[in-house]
Amino acid sequence: MTTERIQIRNFINGVFVEPSGGRYLDNIEPATGKPYSQVADSDSRDVDLAVAAAEKAFADWSRKPAAERSRLLLRIVDLIERGLEKFARAESIDTGKPLTLARSLDIPRAVSNFRFFATAILHTESEAHITDNVAFNYTLRQPRGIAGLISPWNLPLYLLSWKIAPAIAVGNTAIAKPSELTPMTAYLLCELCREAGLPNGVLNVVHGTGPNVGAAITAHPKINTISFTGGTVTGKKVAEVCAPLFKKVSLELGGKNPNIVFADADLDAAIAGSVRSSFANQGQVCLCGSRVFVERSAYKDFVDRFIGKASQLKLGDPLDEKTEQGAIMNKAQLEKIKFYVDLAQKEGGKISLGGSSPNPPNERCRNGYFFSPTVIVDLPVACRTNREEIFGPVVTITPFDSEEEVVRYANDVDYGLSSSVWTQNLSRAHRVAEKIHTGTVWVNCWLVRDLRVPFGGMKQSGVGREGGEEALRFFTEPKNVCIAK
């Protein structure tokens, strides 16, 4: 089956169905700027149908032995692995990311997500508390019911499977909404769920816009658990709707992540790591290090070599095997990037590399959305360019003189998702890691992900943690059973 010209329908109760209103949206390929498929433009009626299916499925699914749920999820793993190339190509076309990145990162990670939680549920433990001679308590962790799972466009299957896998592994049923900009791999996943024999209604996918489908999911009284990944502004809306309904909510939001390079660092490693953390997926990863701080004695050398390396990144057609920088998600995102590059110059910044859209890489991509890797220097630390999330291939580089000063700079934003620290001094690494207000601190690396560790943000980067035990706990309700002795 080819993914081109498909009409992407909702997946409800194990079958693909038309949206209630019969409406579809064009799905644009970022590299060409042209529609290549259509996606259901659903509304609250479709969410109601999905809730009815999920509610019906919950009774059986939540009571299935963990080993059986595990077996079904592992079948999905095998099927994704079998179709890895098809998934990678679909993800690349849908997002504009290089095919090589989708093949090496996005789809393998989706496989790992399913495998991790499919097997994690076979190894869980529960706590017991003995109250002297009075009673014996144990903690029963039960699935909560129907989970609403909402994800963004930058890492579509990677992030959606990071929610679907733990939610259904522990016995919930789920209603997922991918971004309407990137629905294709969620659609392909539904086909595999059918093939794997996942019972009808366990996973339902409703496509459409945030204001229509996302808002209907967050407001639905029968969906008591919401796992959301997206921008901070949207996250606030989700929190506002969920709070009076007392839903359990996890919010993974935006970032403006510092990347700190001390003069004692292995500069070759720091430069290679920083170029990657600045421009991976065209800078459209919530964990990208968009603010680089370099100790003054190494600053000039770092900037020269960083620019040298970044300028060699091969921008091209995402489907070209040699491409390292693909397309930007859509026109709105491209305009946003251009706005911030203009703003940076008004704020006193100097563009040392890039700063504009390049010539199209080929005829096919003539109307695609491309932007060159961009480096900005000489900006004041506290300006808007250094505080607001751009979410594109734009990085600022700023010198610093002391550890205290750079920690202050790093923390001087509303966000607190992740940070990187490059140094050979172990004591300094520990000291700085303790003082930085981010949910993840990488030392001498970036984007090393162990699925067991807690993942999430501080401040306006979110509430709650995903990953490992945190996710298993989020998607279950702890109940204390107290038995008198």
Q: Which of 154, 200, 227, 420 binds ligand NDP (CB under 6 A)?
A: 154
Q: Is 210 in the site for ligand NDP (CB under 6 A)?
A: yes
| Helix locations, 311-455, DSSP H | 331-346, 403-411, 426-435
Query: Is residue 81 among the annotated active site residues?
Result: no
Q: Which is nearer to ligand NDP, 25 or 120 (CB)?
A: 25
**Looking at 29, 252, 324, 470, which residue is catalytic?**
252
Name the one range near ligand NDP by CB under 6 A: 10-18, 176-184, 297-305, 356-364.
176-184
Find the shortest distance in angstroms from Cβ 389 to ligand NDP: 5
Residue in 106, 457, 104, 429 with CA at minimum distance from that of residue 270: 429
Q: Which is nearer to ligand NDP, 72 or 451 (CB)?
A: 451
- 91 counts as binding ligand NDP under rule CB under 6 A: no
Q: Which of 19, 96, 230, 393 binds ligand NDP (CB under 6 A)?
A: 230
Q: Active site residue: 190, 193, 242, 286, which one?
A: 286
- Give the distance, in angstroms, between the CA of residue 446 and the centroid of all CA atoms in the same chain: 15
Handedness of CA 183, 185, 190, 191 (dihedral sign): positive
Residue 321 tokens, joined: 């095997």
Nearer to ligand NDP, 154 or 352 (CB): 154
Per CB under 6 A, which of residues 273..302 are in contact with ligand NDP?
Answer: 286
Q: Which residue lies nearer to ligand NDP by CB, 85 or 240?
A: 240
Q: Which of 95, 113, 225, 234 binds ligand NDP (CB under 6 A)?
A: 234
Q: Which of 96/214 has CB closer to ligand NDP?
A: 214
Beta bridge partners of 375: 353, 395
Q: Which residues lie closer than 8 Å to 12 by C-beta, 6 or more apart?
A: 46, 49, 50, 53, 201, 204, 206
Stretch that binds ligand NDP, among 89-97, 152-160, 267-275, 363-371 (CB under 6 A): 152-160
Reported residue count of the chain is 485
308 binds ligand NDP (CB under 6 A): no
Half-sphere exposure (Cβ direction) of 118: Cα atoms closer than 13 Å: 18
Q: Does 229 bind ligand NDP (CB under 6 A)?
A: yes
Minimum gap (Å) between residue 245 Cβ and ligand NDP: 13
Residues 37, 30: Cα–Cα separation, whole Å: 12
318 forms part of the interface with ligand NDP (CB under 6 A): no
Residue 28 engages ligand NDP in binding (rule: CB under 6 A) = no
Put residue 456 in one of left, alpha, beta given phi > 0 → left and psi -120 to 50 → alpha: left
| Tokens coding 466 | 């995903």
Q: Which of 39, 146, 379, 417 binds ligand NDP (CB under 6 A)?
A: 417
Helices marked H in 355-481 — which ranges?
403-411, 426-435, 468-474
**What does the alpha-carbon distance between residue 365 and residue 455 come to, in Å, rounded to a whole number?**
36
Separation of alpha carbons 392 and 270, rounded Å: 21
Q: Which residue is nearest to ligand NDP (CB)?
A: 210
> How far apart are the two ends of the chain, measured CA to CA in Å?
62
196 or 458: CB nearest ligand NDP: 458
Q: How far is the CB of 401 from ligand NDP (least distance, A)?
A: 30
| Interface size with ligand NDP, residues (CB under 6 A) | 32
Decide if 190 is catalytic.
no
Binding residue for ligand NDP (CB under 6 A) from 110, 168, 193, 253?
253
Dihedral sign, Cα of residue 129, residue 130, residue 134, residue 137: positive
- Are residues 143 and 117 in contact, defined by beta-carbon separation less than 8 angstroms? no
160 scored as a contact of ligand NDP (CB under 6 A): no
Query: Quick one: which of 286, 312, 368 has its CA closest to 96?
Result: 368
Residues that bind ligand NDP (CB under 6 A): 150-154, 159, 177, 179-181, 209-211, 214-215, 218, 229-231, 234, 237-238, 252-255, 286, 389, 391, 417, 457, 462
- Point out the residues that are catalytic: 252, 286
